[in-house]
């Protein structure tokens, strides 16, 4: 186990560089989960994510000879910015290898901190392989995003802040990609409060740590498929796996659907945005069997581009039944469209899109197909609309 004093020393080292993000109580997530939910908003951190903690702690501990060689790191985005920021502040040259699919906002932010960015590979693991090749070629000092004690210790300073502010917390929910964040927080938290429960949260399409725990060793997933690009990791770190196995009590997984849902609620109720990987903890809060507990969910990052935000809002609205789209076949005669419109108005459904198409029905001389998209207030409201249309003789097909 990593000694508690190492986390305390790292916290002192990080003073003046990071923000001590304060907990936010969430009425909405508390009601949904039947627990007391607090958010640890690392999406508001310097560089927009928790990664600055581990990166700065690691880089500040390098000796002058190591710094002279220059640094290299591989990252899906947030570690990249953390290393670039730390290197810039400490006067060290940095090269960052990022997957080609990394959101542009993360690439540009990394460049803005003065790092040389190389785009390589489709997922993190391929970018990592290229970074290792460049390390050998140029004798750079490699800064691993999660399989390094100094990085893990830096991430674990989050636990010190949480338990100082909320010492009676019962459960910590922590996102897992490669495992460095969960390892650090769990190691520190268990020493401060041995009774605390630590739950890691992974995407269903990238559960490398859960599979490693099941196998009793690090395993490589054949593929990853998740909108949580920051946690799209095929292989957990050897070191982070050892520490997670030792101190994390449980790992749950969440679907992309659940991440979209969590995004919309966070944005609408708390006016906060988080990237998909950053949402893992709050999406996982509804998986908790215990009730009436004080739970802290770590929002690990908020680096998300505007186009993705737009897409997430739309998908989140659909997932919560706030947008309803359906098709219906109508006889091609005057008044049919009016009957549909009046029924929707009676049910307080606001029409946002309508397509009256004669050519989508084979019998276009007597029937037409109508596609309608409306704003709704949830699944119960959708059911009322469907029942009202059925009552006046229309059979509808839900599109989404």
DSSP 320: T
- Among the listed residues 74, 247, 281, 300, the single catalytic one is 300
Identify whether 300 is a catalytic site residue.
Answer: yes
Q: How far apart are CA 371 and CA 321, in angstroms?
A: 17
Sort strands 141-142 and 171-175 into parallel, antiparallel or unpaired: unpaired
Q: Report yes or no: 199 and 231 within 8 Å, Cβ to Cβ.
A: no
Q: Helix, strand, or coil here: 97?
A: strand
Q: Please compute, for residue 6, the number of CA atoms within 13 A of its CA located in the half-sphere on the CB side.
A: 21
Residue pair 78/146 in contact (Cβ under 8 Å)? The answer is: no
- The token pair at 13 is 């080292």
Owner of token pair 């650090």: 184
* Alpha-helix runs per DSSP H in 98-143: 104-112, 124-138
Q: Is 377 exposed, middle or buried (0-12, 13-18, 19+ CB in 10 A)?
A: middle
Rounded to whole angstroms, how far apart are CA atoms 397 and 378? 17
40, 51, 210, 315: the catalytic one is: 51
Q: Respond yes or no: is residue 255 known to be catalytic.
A: no
Place of tokens 């390094």: 148
First to last CA, the chain: 49
For residue 39, give every residue at least 6 positions away whose Cβ sits within 8 Å of its Cβ, in sequence order, or none: 23, 24, 25, 26, 29, 270, 272, 282, 296, 297, 299
- Name, in order, each residue with C-beta under 8 angstroms of 194's C-beta and a sequence gap of 6 or more: none
In DSSP notation, 19-88 reads --PPPEEEHHHHHHHTSEEEEEEGGGSGGGBTHHHHHHHHHHTS-HHHHHH-EEEE-SSHHHHHHHHHHH
For residues 227 and 137, is the Cβ–Cβ distance under 8 A? no
Q: How far apart are CA 60 and CA 92, in angstroms?
A: 10
Q: Which residues are catalytic?
A: 51, 300
């Amino acid at each position: 186990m990593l000694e508690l004093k190492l986390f305390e020393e790292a916290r002192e080292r990080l003073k003046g560089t990071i923000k001590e993000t304060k907990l936010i109580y969430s009425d909405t997530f508390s009601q949904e989960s039947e627990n007391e939910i607090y958010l640890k908003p690392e999406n508001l951190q310097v560089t927009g994510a928790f990664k600055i903690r581990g990166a700065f702690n690691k880089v500040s501990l390098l000796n002058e000879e190591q710094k002279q060689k220059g640094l290299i790191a591989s990252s899906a985005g947030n570690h990249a910015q953390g290393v670039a920021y730390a290197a810039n502040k400490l006067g060290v040259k940095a090269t960052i290898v990022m997957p080609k699919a990394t959101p542009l906002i993360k690439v540009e932010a990394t460049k803005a901190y003065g790092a040389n960015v190389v785009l390589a590979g489709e997922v993190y693991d391929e970018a990592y392989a290229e970074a290792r090749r460049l390390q050998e070629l140029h004798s750079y000092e490699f800064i691993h995003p999660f399989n390094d004690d100094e990085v893990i210790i830096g991430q674990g300073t989050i636990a010190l802040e949480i338990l100082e502010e909320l010492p009676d917390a019962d459960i910590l929910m922590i996102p897992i990609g490669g495992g460095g964040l969960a390892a650090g927080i769990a190691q520190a938290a268990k020493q401060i409060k041995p009774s605390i429960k630590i739950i890691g949260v992974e995407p269903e399409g990238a559960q490398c740590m859960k599979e490693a725990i099941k196998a009793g060793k690090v395993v490589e997933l054949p593929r990853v498929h998740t909108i949580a690009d920051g946690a799209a990791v095929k292989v957990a770190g050897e070191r982070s796996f050892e520490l997670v196995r030792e101190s994390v009590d449980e790992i749950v997984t969440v679907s992309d659907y659940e991440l979209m849902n969590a995004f919309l609620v966070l944005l609408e109720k708390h006016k906060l945005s988080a990237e998909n990987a950053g949402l893992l903890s709050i999406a996982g809060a509804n998986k908790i069997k215990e009730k009436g507990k004080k739970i802290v969910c770590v929002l690990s990052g908020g680096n998300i581009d505007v186009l993705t935000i737009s897409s997430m809002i739309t998908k989140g609205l659909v997932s919560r039944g706030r947008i309803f789209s359906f098709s219906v076949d109508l006889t091609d005669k005057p008044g049919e469209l009016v009957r549909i419109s009046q029924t929707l108005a009676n049910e307080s459904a606001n029409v946002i899109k309508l397509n009256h198409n004669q050519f989508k029905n084979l019998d276009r001389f007597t029937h037409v197909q109508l596609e309608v998209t409306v704003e709704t207030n949830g699944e119960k409201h959708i059911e009322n609309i469907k029942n009202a249309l059925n009552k006046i003789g229309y059979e509808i097909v839900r599109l989404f």
